[in-house]
Structure 1
Amino acid sequence: MKKLPLFFRTVALAVFSLLVFSFTIDKKEQDDKLIGIWKGFEKDRQIEGVEKHWIQQRFGDGTYVIMFTTKEDCEVETFTEKGKWWTEDGKFYESSESTKDIDIYNYEVKNDEVVDFNSIRLSGENNETYIFSDYKLDLK
C-alpha cells in the first residue's frame, strides 16, 4: 500500500478539521423548556391598535413555525413565519427565514407553562419595550 505524501495528509487533516469546526459553530443551544407548542396574545404592545394572537411550535432541532392572526380596524389577517431559534447567555434569539435580522429577547421561564419575553432588539433595531408571554399548550 502506497503512503500518501505528507502534504496531502496535512491538507486532508486541515479540511477535516475545518468541516468539524464549521459544524460546531452552526450548532446552537436550545433551552429544552422552550420546546413545544405555545400560544400567546397581545394588544397595543407592539403596534397601537393591533391585536395579535399566535401559536408557535419550537422544535428541538432549533427550527420554529408561528401562525399569527392580527386584527386591526375590524380587519383580520393571518400569516405564517418560519425560522430558527436558539438561546445563549440567558437570551432568546429568533431568526425568520424572511429577513436577515435576528430578534433578541430576555426571557424568564416562570413555570412549565409560562415564559415571559422582553425585547432587546427587533427587526435590526434596539427595542426594549415589547413584552409578552407564551403559554404552553398541553395536547395530551
Structure 2
Amino acid sequence: MSWTWLAALVPFFSAIVGAAVGGLVVHRTALARDARNEQRARRVEHLISAYQRLSAASNREGNLNPEQAADLEAALSEVMLLGQRTEIGAARAFMVTFATEGGAELDPLLIALRSSLREELGLDPTPLPKPYSIRLLL
C-alpha cells in the first residue's frame, strides 16, 4: 500500500490548521485592541468632562453654588478614579489644601489634566495660557 497520497495531503492540512490558528490569533488580538481603545476612549471622555467641570469651578470669587460644588466633587472623584499618578497627586493636594485652608488653587490639577489629555490625544504640548477662563456676569 502506498502512502504517497497521504503525504500529498499533509501540506493541505497544514495550511488549513495554520490558517485557522492564524485567524484565531488575529481575531483575539483585534478584540484585545478594540477593548483597549474603548477603555482609552471612555477614560479620555470622563477626564475631559472632569477638566471642564474643574475649569468651570476655578477662579471664582466667593462660594460655589450647590451645583458647582457637586460638579467639583464629581470631577475630583473621576480624577481620583481614572487619572494618572500626577493628576491624582494634584487632585489630592487640592483636596488637602481645600480641607485645611478652606480654599485652594485648581491650576496645578488643571495643568496636569490638560497636559495628560493633550498627550493622550496626540496634540502638541502647548502650555496652558493665563488667563485660561473667563467669567461672564449676565
For normalisation by structure 2, the TM-score amounts to 0.34
The answer to which structure has the higher helix fraction is 2
Higher relative contact order (CA 8 A, sep 6+): 2
